[in-house]
Amino acid sequence: MNHAIRFTAPRVNPGLRPLVILLTGLLALLFCLRNPLFHGMAPGFDASLFAVMGKMWSEGGVLYRDMIDIKGPMIFALDALGYHMGGFFGIWLLEWALCWLGLLASWQAFAQLGLSLRARLGTMLAVLALYSTRYYYGNMTEDWTFHLALIAQWAFITMLLDKRFSWGPALVAALTFAIVAWMRANNGAFWGAWYLVLFCHWCLREQWRCAFALLFSSLLGLALIGGPLFAYFQHHSLLAEFKYYAFDIFFEGSYGTGFSPDVGSVGLLRTGLIMLLPAFIVLMMGRRQEWYLPALCATLFGVIFTLIANSVSGHVFDHYDVLYLPLALLPLACLLDRSEQQADGLGLLCISLVVLTASWLLAQQLGYGWSTKEWSLERVREVLGNSLLWALPVLILVPLWRAWDVRSATPWLASLAMLALLLNNAWEGSLKGKPFNPPAQVRVDRIKAETGPTDKIWVDGIQPQYYLWTDRQPASAYLFFANVNPPYDVRERVLADIKRQSPKFIIAKSERVADELKKPTTPSSLAFYQYLVSQYEEVDPGLYRRR
């Protein structure tokens, strides 16, 4: 497969048509309608916690003093900005706007690469359909990372095609990188890969000024976002707390079960990206365009960096898979474009792996459903292995792809199917995020009826959704979940905050209260629940009111 490289002509930058702007906005809307914040409801676990902390920051709270979680400050800054714009709906609005910009940027980037309209549309629909069906909570760090990665992809591809450094795209890449890095450093693998490849690419071409300008721009972005954050925490004498909760806590064993490449590779498998890569590698190694090899290297390094990043915690949570999705866009678009151009052997390989990937993902969904709880590696292997066996027979149908009428009709039929899936997911969004059951609704109604906006409540356990449903602030700063084990007694500090704030209501499971009073797990837990039953009375199941 030794082909002469076709030197890329000066970058073509087609204008954005109003129809494209409308289409991407509509796709972003259908996707983001699954976010319960649009309906005034609460997204899952962490996402609700981030929204509550964003609200508190927007209303004058001090991060890492009045509200604490083990994330970098930018996730809370984004939520604070959104909440300031329009309450919890404002957070949804900000995410939708970034999603729209991301889709628009990717559309333009792939247009600059010369990929067909059907390949671009099919790729966006496929990735969004998978994302919304499985992974989308709304307001997770991974969700914001996905949108920002699509924006950054345009910047990197633009500079690659221009064959030189340009301050406009470079600042877009740098600022999106900085936002993600100050949110959760692990999420920056996509940017790390592209920065490395572009830097080395320009060094090999002896474009030293471009290479080092790129390096400087990335550091400038970190400084532009990080500088005000450092000044804020310095002003409040919280630099040590900022450093600890945003970074150090992950390196001292307080979170996670240890480094595991097996865990890190789960998302590579569950998103189907692993199956697209062989054909993408063969296609890009043909080197028919100058951008083929750098794009391939950026994708492969992105996979490696993401695998390492996802290996750090040792936890198999589904939302970690999202970090692989931005890396899947370019391979999928290229394979769809190549299979559309020619029905030769390479075209057949491209479409075969696309069809097999889709069948594999569909078999997982139909055969096993999906769980948002933590998975075991054994369960992952079982689901992936059995689903692959069920999906393999679909390859019998692939030779039909050689028929031109099938090749031309199938992409549109597939696009309609994925659009229908997005519509269904948007409708399902109106059903999600509501109080768990009738007793939970009773608790919410009673708290809202008997407290005012300035009153505080406390929720024992991992149910931060109550803070959104009631629109009340928590009575303690220690909001991270029980799977975080810092070198101090969290329960003791929570009790001290509860005594000081004296919240009107505390939500706690009655069974857990009884169990802890009989067989306490720690002395501080016993003290907490003794204080609860002595100072509060259970007025509804699981709802305690101050006496």
Cα gap 102→147, rounded to integer Å: 5
Q: Give per-residue pLDDT as tens, 289-305.
A: 888 999 999 999 999 99
Q: Pick the last residue of a domain from 429, 450, 479.
A: 429
Do 170 and 315 belong to one domain?
yes
The 3-state secondary structure of 442-487 reads HHHHHHHHHCCCCCEEEECCCCCHHHHHHCCEECCCECCCCCECCC
Written in H, E and C, the secondary structure of 364-379 is HHHHHCCCCCCCCHHH
Question: For 289, left (φ over 0), alpha (ψ -120 to 50), or beta?
Answer: beta
Examine residue 24 and state whether it is found in any structural domain, yes or no: no
Residue 105 makes CB contacts below 8 A (sequence gap 6+) with 150, 151, 153, 154, 155
| Domain stop point among 409, 429, 449 | 429
What are the residues whose beta carbons fall under 8 Å from the beta carbon of 409, sequence distance 6 or more? none
Minimum mean pLDDT range among 49-63, 390-404, 443-457? 390-404
Q: Using alpha carbons, select from 176, 124, 128, 182 the residue that is nearest to residue 151.
A: 176
- Amino acid 404: pLDDT: 52
Average pLDDT over residues 192-209: 95
CA atoms within 13 A on the CB side of 326: 31
Distance CA 34, CA 304 (A): 30
CA 315 → CA 260, 312, 534, distances in Å?
Answer: 9, 8, 38
Q: In what order do the strands lie in the sheet with 456-459?
A: 473-474, 456-459, 505-507, 543-546, 536-540
Asked whether residue 60 is assigned to any structural domain, the reply reads yes
Whole-number Cα distances in Å, 542 to 433, 499, 532: 19, 20, 12
Burial of 519 (0-12, 13-18, 19+ CB in 10 A): exposed
Whether residue 535 sits in one domain with residue 404 = no
Within this chain, do residues 75 and 159 fall inside the same structural domain, yes or no?
A: yes
Distance CA 239, CA 232 (A): 9
pLDDT digits (tens, 9 = 90+) for 477-529: 888 767 777 788 888 999 999 999 999 999 998 888 888 888 888 898 999 99
Beta strand 536-540 with 473-474 is unpaired
Concatenated DSSP letters of 485-525? --SS-HHHHHHHHHHHH--SEEE--HHHHHHHHHS-SSHHH
Indicate whether 87 and 146 sit together in one domain: yes
pLDDT digits 0-9 by tens, 98-152:
999 999 999 999 999 999 888 899 899 889 989 988 888 888 899 999 999 999 9
Domain assignment present for residue 4? The answer is no
Considering Cα of 88, then 86, then 428, then 126, what sign does the dihedral take?
A: negative
Residue 216 has pLDDT above 60, yes or no: yes
Residues 408, 449: one domain?
Answer: no
Residue 268 to residue 367: CA distance in whole angstroms: 20
Using CA atoms, how far apart are residues 259 and 182, in angstroms rounded to an integer?
22
The answer on pLDDT for 70 being more than 50 is yes
Q: Please check whether residue 537 lies inside any domain of the structure.
A: yes
Domain boundary among 429, 456, 491: 429
pLDDT band at 159 (very low <50, low <70, confident <90, very high): very high
Q: What is the pLDDT of residue 93?
A: 96
Give dist(CA 12, CA 187) in Å, integer.
Answer: 31
Q: What is the DSSP string of 413-453?
A: HHHHHHHHHHHHHHHHHTTSSS-SSHHHHHHHHHHHHH--T
* Cβ atoms < 10 Å from Cβ of 116: 17
The pair of structure tokens assigned to 268 is 């590579």
For all residues of the chain together, what is the average pLDDT?
Answer: 88
Same domain, 444 and 523: yes
Query: Tens digit of pLDDT for each residue in 455-464?
Result: 999 998 788 8
Quick one: 303 and 404 in the same domain?
Answer: yes
Q: Are residues 421 and 442 in the same domain?
A: no
Alpha-carbon span 254 to 533, nearest angstrom: 30
pLDDT at residue 4, as a whole number: 46
Please check whether residue 9 lies inside any domain of the structure. Answer: no
DSSP string covering 127-175, please? HHHHIIIII--SS-HHHHHHHHHHHHHHHHHHHHHHTS--HHHHHHHHH
Q: What does the pLDDT read at residue 303?
A: 96
Answer whether residue 14 shows pLDDT above 80: no
Residue 26 belongs to a domain = no
d(CA 386, CA 368): 10
What size, in residues, is the chain? 547
User: Does 20 reside within a domain?
Assistant: no
Q: Domain check: are 99 and 125 in the same one?
A: yes
Range of the domain at 481: 438-546
Whether residues 163 and 224 fall in one domain: yes
334 and 455 share one domain: no
User: What is the percent of the chain where pLDDT is above 70?
Assistant: 93
Confidence band, pLDDT 50/70/90 cuts, at residue 8: low
Domain-embedded: residue 23: no
Residue of 468, 472, 471 lying closest to 504 (CA atoms) = 472
Distance CA 547, CA 536 (A): 5
Q: Is the pLDDT of residue 227 over 90?
A: yes
Total count of domains within the chain: 2
**Could you tell me if 391 and 460 lie in one domain?**
no
Task: Rounding to the nearest 10 degrees, give the CA dihedral for residues 381, 385, 387, 391.
Answer: 150
- CA 113 centroid distance within chain: 26
Q: Are strands 456-459 and 473-474 parallel, antiparallel or unpaired?
A: parallel
